[in-house]
Amino acid sequence: MTFRATVLTLYPEMFPGHLGHSLAGRALERGQWAIEPIQIRDFALDKHRSVDDTPAGGGAGMVLKPDVLARAIDHVSSDDTRPRLLMSPRGRPLTQARVRQLADGEGVVIVCGRFEGVDQRVIDGRNLEEVSIGDYILSGGEPAALTLLDAVVRILPGVMGNDLSGIHESFEGGLLEHPHYTRPQSFEGVDIPAILTSGNHGAIEKWRHEQAVRLTRERRPDLLPPQPVTK
């Protein structure tokens, strides 16, 4: 089954972007996944092909018009069961667990917001799932869409040279990834930890887990389960 990504955007030339290179690009050429950028402006009916208007109630910026965007979404077959995502800073944070859910499906339909946002009526009426890639603001949803697709495509079967690479990574087991080392044995006076060259695979795995827990506790304690309260 080919993973299909349909992207609704005002800038279709931004796709596939960096995903046309390296492992993702080769997988795209092999047909392991496909991407279809759709120009939202093509669904504007006025002579100026207007896609935005001033926000109701006043305020700065512009808002994507619901009628234009709804027609663009409806252009995708009504019986299409792929999740409909809206890249939005107010969405639920994208997690590795959600990435895996998406990768296990047949694909996604992604709406890339622009301006101040999208009319709420089309979000509700077209069942758009708002997704955020972080607590910051981008110029539009396109970079966020590329980030989401990057995370999904790389774990599709056969895309990475070694599928185990996608298992021992940050967030896969609820922890940040352990430190990595490679030759030379000594670099700027610092040696590779002896345990990693011991050949004792059990001890190596234990060390890696301990390091992952340590880093997670230091940098992302929110990922760890709450500690029981002792009285």
Report if residue 178 sits inside a domain: yes
Examine the domain organization and report whether 16 and 59 are in the same domain: yes
pLDDT tens for the 231 residues of the chain, in order: 899 999 999 999 999 999 999 999 999 999 999 999 999 999 999 999 999 999 999 999 999 999 999 999 999 977 899 999 999 999 999 999 999 999 999 999 999 999 889 999 999 999 999 999 999 999 999 999 999 999 999 999 999 976 655 555 667 778 999 999 999 999 999 999 999 999 999 999 999 999 999 999 999 999 998 877 776
Report if residue 195 sits inside a domain: yes
Examine the domain organization and report whether 39 and 135 are in the same domain: yes
Examine the domain organization and report whether 173 and 82 are in the same domain: no
Report if residue 108 sits inside a domain: yes
Examine the domain organization and report whether 176 and 141 are in the same domain: no
Examine the domain organization and report whether 51 and 10 are in the same domain: yes
Examine the domain organization and report whether 62 and 175 are in the same domain: no
Phi and psi, residue 53, nearest 5°: -150, 170
pTM (2 decimals)?
A: 0.90
Asked which of 127, 153, 179 is the last residue of a domain, the reply is 153
In this prediction, residue 151 carries a pLDDT of 98
Report if residue 162 sits inside a domain: no
Report if residue 230 sits inside a domain: no
- Domain with residue 149: its CATH number is 3.40.1280.10
Produce one character per residue of 12-25: b if its CB has 16 or more CB atoms within 10 Å, e if not.
bebbbbebeeeebe
Examine the domain organization and report whether 45 and 134 are in the same domain: yes
Examine the domain organization and report whether 141 and 217 are in the same domain: no
In this prediction, residue 167 carries a pLDDT of 58
Examine the domain organization and report whether 77 and 177 are in the same domain: no
Asked which of 102, 120, 153 is the last residue of a domain, the reply is 153
Examine the domain organization and report whether 193 and 132 are in the same domain: no
Domain of 39 in residue numbering reads as: 3-153
Q: Which tokens hold the place of 86? A: 């809206």
In this prediction, residue 161 carries a pLDDT of 73
Report if residue 228 sits inside a domain: no
Distances (CA, A) of 115 to 10, 48, 73, 80, 142: 11, 18, 18, 28, 12
In this prediction, residue 148 carries a pLDDT of 98
Q: How many domains does the chain have?
A: 2
CB burial of residue 114 (10 Å; 0-12, 13-18, 19+):
buried
Examine the domain organization and report whether 24 and 70 are in the same domain: yes
In this prediction, residue 78 carries a pLDDT of 74
Residue 43 to residue 41: CA distance in whole angstroms = 5
- Domain with residue 206: its CATH number is 1.10.1270.20
Q: How many residues does the chain have?
A: 231
Examine the domain organization and report whether 201 and 120 are in the same domain: no
